[in-house]
């Protein structure tokens, strides 16, 4: 811990009152806009050296101190592509997607939203956000994931978003790399958190009160992190929305055939492992992404997959055994799912007014999200690690415009970020009530992961307790028996086609 950070921890830090701030990356200047005049925004601050040229497909390294940084606009999202098919997100709610033409390889940055000229004398709790997107897509400039309105309302916390590498750039699984160098996107997340730890006091935050929050692949990343850094977690609480380390999404390509398949297209095949990756470093990221998109869009075979691999450093194969051995951070966690996760993963119906295949949808809800969350909660409870469990069941037409969509995967995010009313009509009064309650839950946990939620009536998991059911049947919150949440994952009820709780 450097002397400056130690002094700020001991004596408290006044929240941000200047738009030019010294950081380990160099001085940064942010902005305030007229929409949220009580929020200081510092966007696109590089936390790592650009992962380009010879640094492509290597672990990220901390950004050296440089000249003045203009932090008034978002940095680039990491290279990625969207498929060309219809989906809930692409067709009905595109505000979940990375805006077009905003990506590039020099993408490792953080975005900070902090109360402007807050009058407190102590550092504020910090929520570090990791976006989802199946490790293929996601960025810091997604419309539905901008916390400005949330910070404007609370004036009590800071949100920091971390950009990390994706798909073949973040998870290459290339023969020319060591096993512990394959999950580059996960290593990016750790370096981003180290930057937050070392710099957030200068923005009015408390480095001793950092909560790590992610959704979907971001939630998987949070739990991977939970097991990867048990003795040096940096964070004091975890929030896992619709995902955890038990969710089966990864790569088992032990012979590195996917990377070599792509390298063959660019005439980098039939080389030694090291020469192959050196050759691919000379191919433009745009060309690589364009090829992957065209290959995916035509549904060519073999299918290509670039996801986290088991490297026994950032991802492990034995999470239940590690949990029962207490080989994880053991900090408190929020863990939950939406009631209709899977409707977004079933084939999109044609016409859209028709319902998707409910068996496929329910199987995805249970097998991918609810039941892994139940198992994770049980593992944590077995070793007395505190877990607060929720089920989100909100159904709001400006987020879910088709009658069958309901509380689909990701649909809770606009309510937490405070962006539910930015498209397809303003939010209803009830929708705003649900939004504020979820924001208050997340903030209470960030302020005090042990006692914050119980003070609001949300008790930690035990088999006999209730979870919190959010946004269902006209009630902002209501209790739902943990046994009811778990019933669909118990024995025969958990077979494909069983219904999720509601």
Decide if pLDDT at 9 tops 70: no
* pLDDT tens-digit map of 74-122: 999 999 999 888 999 999 999 999 999 999 999 999 999 999 986 667 8
Query: What is residue 119's predicted lDDT score, i.e. its pLDDT?
Result: 66
Share of the chain above pLDDT 70, in %: 94
Encode pLDDT of 439-471 as tens digits: 999 999 999 999 999 999 999 999 999 999 999
Asked if the model's pLDDT at residue 47 lies above 50, the reply is yes
C-alpha radius of gyration, the chain, whole number: 22
Mean pLDDT confidence for 206-213: 98
pLDDT tens track for 303-333:
999 999 999 999 999 999 999 999 999 999 9
pLDDT digits (tens, 9 = 90+) for 254-286: 899 999 999 999 999 889 999 999 999 999 999
For a pLDDT cut of 90, what percent of the chain falls above it? 89
Q: Are 337 and 467 in contact (CB under 8 A)?
A: no
pLDDT of residue 118: 62
The closest alpha carbon to 314, from 170, 167, 140, 410, belongs to: 170
Per-residue pLDDT for 492 more than 80?
no
The whole-number average pLDDT for the span 399-411 is: 97
Dist CA 377 CA 235 (whole Å):
19
- Confidence label for 389 from pLDDT (cuts 50, 70 and 90): very high
| Number of DSSP helices (H) and strands (E) in the chain, helices first | 14, 13
Q: What is the mean pLDDT of residues 351-375?
A: 96
Q: Is the pLDDT of residue 472 over 60?
A: yes
Task: Report the alpha-carbon distance of residue 374 to residue 485 in Å, rounded.
Answer: 8
CA atoms within 13 A on the CB side of 276: 21
Token pair in block for residue 156: 């009590």
Place 7 in a pLDDT band, splitting at 50, 70 and 90: very low
Distance of CA 445 to the CA centre of its chain: 17
Check whether 400 has a pLDDT greater than 60: yes
pLDDT of residue 41: 98
What does the pLDDT read at residue 502?
A: 66
pLDDT higher than 70, residue 133: yes
Residue 11 CB contacts under 8 Å (≥ 6 apart), including other chains: none
- Torsion from C-alpha of 136, 233, 187, 110, nearest 10 degrees: 70
Predicted local confidence at residue 493, as pLDDT? 38
State the pLDDT confidence band at 249, using cuts at 50, 70 and 90. confident
Token pair of 360, please? 């496929």
CB burial class (10 A; 0-12, 13-18, 19+) of residue 240? Answer: buried
pLDDT, residue 250, reads 77
Please determine, for residue 413, whether its predicted confidence score (pLDDT) is greater than 60. yes
Sort 50 into a burial class: Cβ within 10 Å, 0-12 / 13-18 / 19+: middle
pTM recorded for the entire structure:
0.94
Mean pLDDT in residue range 36-41: 96
Average pLDDT over residues 150-169: 97
From CA 436, how far away is CA 430, in angstroms rounded? Answer: 10
Catalytic center residues: 216, 341, 409
Examine the pLDDT at 496 and tell me if it is beyond 90. Answer: no
pLDDT at 491 over 70: no
Residue 159 is predicted with a pLDDT of: 98
Residue 5 has pLDDT above 60, yes or no: no
Phi-psi group of 346: left, alpha or beta (phi > 0 → left; psi -120 to 50 → alpha; rest → beta): beta
Q: Is the pLDDT of residue 2 over 50?
A: no
pLDDT at 375 over 90: yes
Q: What is the pLDDT of residue 293?
A: 96
Q: What is the mean pLDDT of the chain?
A: 93
Per-residue pLDDT, averaged over 163-182, amounts to 95
């Amino acid at each position: 811990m450097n002397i400056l950070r130690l002094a700020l921890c001991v004596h408290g830090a006044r929240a941000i009152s200047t738009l030019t701030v010294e950081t380990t990356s160099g001085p940064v200047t942010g902005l305030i806009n007229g929409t949220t005049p009580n929020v200081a925004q510092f966007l696109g601050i590089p936390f790592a050296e650009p992962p380009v040229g010879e640094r492509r497909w290597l672990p990220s390294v901390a950004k050296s101190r440089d000249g003045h940084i203009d932090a008034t606009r978002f940095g680039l999202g990491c290279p990625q592509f969207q498929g060309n098919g219809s989906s809930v997100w692409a067709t009905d709610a595109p505000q979940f997607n990375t805006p077009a033409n905003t990506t590039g390889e020099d993408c490792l940055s953080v975005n900070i939203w902090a109360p402007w000229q807050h009058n407190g004398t102590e550092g504020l709790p910090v929520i570090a956000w990791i976006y989802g997107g199946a490790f293929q897509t996601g960025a810091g400039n997604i419309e539905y994931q901008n916390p400005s309105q949330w910070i404007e309302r609370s004036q009590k916390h800071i949100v920091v978003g971390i950009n990390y590498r994706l798909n073949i750039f973040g998870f290459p699984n290339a023969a020319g790399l060591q096993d512990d160098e394959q999950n580059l996107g996960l290593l990016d997340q750790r370096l981003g958190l180290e930057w937050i730890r070392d710099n957030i006091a200068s923005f009015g935050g408390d480095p001793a009160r950092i909560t790590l929050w992610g959704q979907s692949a971001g939630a998987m990343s949070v739990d991977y992190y939970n097991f990867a850094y048990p003795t040096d977690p940096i964070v004091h609480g975890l929030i896992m929305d619709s995902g955890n380390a038990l969710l089966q999404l990864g790569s088992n390509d032990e012979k590195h055939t996917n990377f070599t398949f792509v390298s063959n297209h660019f005439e980098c095949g039939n080389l030694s492992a090291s020469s192959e990756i050196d050759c691919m470093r000379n191919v433009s990221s745009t060309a690589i992404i364009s090829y992957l998109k065209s290959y995916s869009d035509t549904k060519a075979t073999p299918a290509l997959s670039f996801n986290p691999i088991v490297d026994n450093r950032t991802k492990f194969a034995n999470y239940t055994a590690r949990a029962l051995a207490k080989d994880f951070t053991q900090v408190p966690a929020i863990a939950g799912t939406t009631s209709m996760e899977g409707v977004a993963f079933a084939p999109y119906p044609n016409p859209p007014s028709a319902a998707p295949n409910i068996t496929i949808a329910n199987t995805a809800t249970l097998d991918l999200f609810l039941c892994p969350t139940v198992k994770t909660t049980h593992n944590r409870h077995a070793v007395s690690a505190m877990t607060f469990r929720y089920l989100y069941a909100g159904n709001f037409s400006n987020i879910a415009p088709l009658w069958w969509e309901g509380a689909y995967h990701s649909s809770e995010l606009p309510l937490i970020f405070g962006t539910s009313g930015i498209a397809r009509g303003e939010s209803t009064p009830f929708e705003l009530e649900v939004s504020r309650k979820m924001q208050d839950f997340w903030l209470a946990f960030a302020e005090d992961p042990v006692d914050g939620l119980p003070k609001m009536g949300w008790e930690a998991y035990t088999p006999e307790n209730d979870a919190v059911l959010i946004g269902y049947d006209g009630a902002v919150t209501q209790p739902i028996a943990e046994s009811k949440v778990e019933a669909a994952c118990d024995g025969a009820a958990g077979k494909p086609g069983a219904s999720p709780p509601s």
